[in-house]
Amino acid sequence: MKKPLYTRSNWPIAAAMINFPGVLPDGTRVFDQTAAEWAETLEDVVDAGFTELDPTDSWLRIADLSEARLQEFMDVVHSKGLTIPAISTSRNNLICPENGEANLAYAHRVIDTAAKIGATSVCFGFFGPLSDAQKQALWFWTVPNPPVSEDPEEWKLAVARTQELGDHAAKLGIEVALEMYEDSFLGTADSSVKFVQDVNRPNVGICADIGNLVRLHRPVEHWATMIDKIAPYAKYWHVKNYIRTEDAVTGAIMTAPAALEFGIINYRAAIRKAMEYGFNSPFLCEHYGGDGLSVAGTNRRYLRRILPRTRAQD
């Protein structure tokens, strides 16, 4: 059955759990918390105005929970009036030499878990853990990553593994979004489009997280040009925004996180462009710095305001 077109009243807009640590100050893993402790955290999500969340595996790897513990977690989710439309992975590079195969196996478990809990989207990437220098910086994106590999065999491996995941997901009615991220195979709009074209699976597209690029302290393509290129391939979309200023005389570039409606990316225009190509996937609200969850809640309200009241079926 064809999925109905979302409107502002029912569009899934999830809270990202990036603002919550996966390991608590006392060394306790969220993975090992009790249901009551999970519930306490999810109450914050509800209080921020959300009715959906993405567990985000930097907080909790639900794909690694036992069947009983997964059911326990979902009972907590539902008891708080929440649903999970999508599952994102973070920094589990599918082709890194050290643990790429393990990350691939984990990605398959994410797909299976998504199907079990009724999620319709998953998100994967080709970027790895933060370096020590990035962890120590105020904003980790101000410290460069290693340059993206130019080895054609690594590109082929990434394409093949994504095809494998896409085929698995398609059997379960799930879409795969690949996250745009600097110095990765999806580090520019052009490379992102080429990659998904090489994968050539209808359920595999781009997580159009251009916020990851406009925040860089280096020259980047204009956000609107990027959106024009990637809009036909947009799937599950991580949204966040940044203030960006460029000094044409000195070449200095500075950025800082901003609420969706106040940053350099015009999300009203960007989303409308994607909808011209049939975009009908969930959103994920992210924000770094300060009370990121509250800012994400503000971003959710902004999205509700700008999304269409109605949409005509094809």
Q: What pLDDT does 314 receive?
A: 53
Q: Whole-angstrom Cα distance, residue 130 to residue 93? A: 12
| Helix or strand run (H / E) with residue 45 | helix 35-47
Helix, strand, or coil here: 127? coil
Q: Class for domain 13-306, per CATH?
A: alpha beta
Q: Can you tell me the mean pLDDT for 243-270? A: 97
Q: Whole-angstrom Cα distance, residue 144 to residue 134? A: 8
Q: What pLDDT does 1 receive?
A: 46
Judge whether residue 8 has pLDDT over 60.
Answer: yes
Judge whether residue 124 has pLDDT over 80.
Answer: yes
Detail the DSSP E strand segments found in the chain: 13-16, 52-54, 86-88, 121-124, 175-179, 204-207, 237-239, 241-246, 253-258, 283-285
- Contact status, residue 14 vs residue 52, Cβ threshold 8 Å: yes
Taking only the tens place, the pLDDT of each residue in 137-157 is 999 999 999 999 999 999 999
Q: Tell me which amino acid residue 140 is.
A: F
CA-based nearest residue to 199, from 160, 255, 233: 160
Domains of the chain, residue spans: 13-306
Helix, strand, or coil here: 213? helix
Q: Can you tell me the mean pLDDT for 94-116? A: 96
* Mean pLDDT computed over every residue of the chain: 96
SS3 content of the chain, % helix, strand, coil (to 5): 40, 15, 45
For 172-241, where are the alpha helices, taking DSSP H only?
A: 189-199, 211-214, 223-230
Q: Can you tell me the mean pLDDT for 24-44? A: 97
Give the chain's length.
Answer: 314
Residue 4 — pLDDT band, cuts 50, 70, 90? confident
Q: Residue 301 corresponds to which tokens in the numbers above?
A: 């309200």
Half-sphere exposure of 119 (CA within 13 A, CB side): 33
The bridge status of strand 121-124 relative to strand 175-179 is parallel
| Helix or strand run (H / E) with residue 110 | helix 100-117
Q: Can you tell me the mean pLDDT for 123-136? A: 96
Taking only the tens place, the pLDDT of each residue in 37-79 is 999 999 999 999 999 999 999 999 999 999 999 999 999 999 9
Q: Can you tell me the mean pLDDT for 290-305? A: 98
* Percent of the chain clearing pLDDT 70 (strictly above): 99
Phi then psi dihedrals of residue 85, to 5 deg: -80, -15
Sign of CA dihedral 291, 142, 284, 32: negative
Q: Whole-angstrom Cα distance, residue 55 to residue 15? A: 8
CA-based nearest residue to 128, from 174, 184, 189: 184
Query: How many other CB atoms sit within 10 Å of the CB of residue 264?
Result: 17
Judge whether residue 312 has pLDDT over 90.
Answer: no
CA 238 to centroid of chain Cα atoms: 4
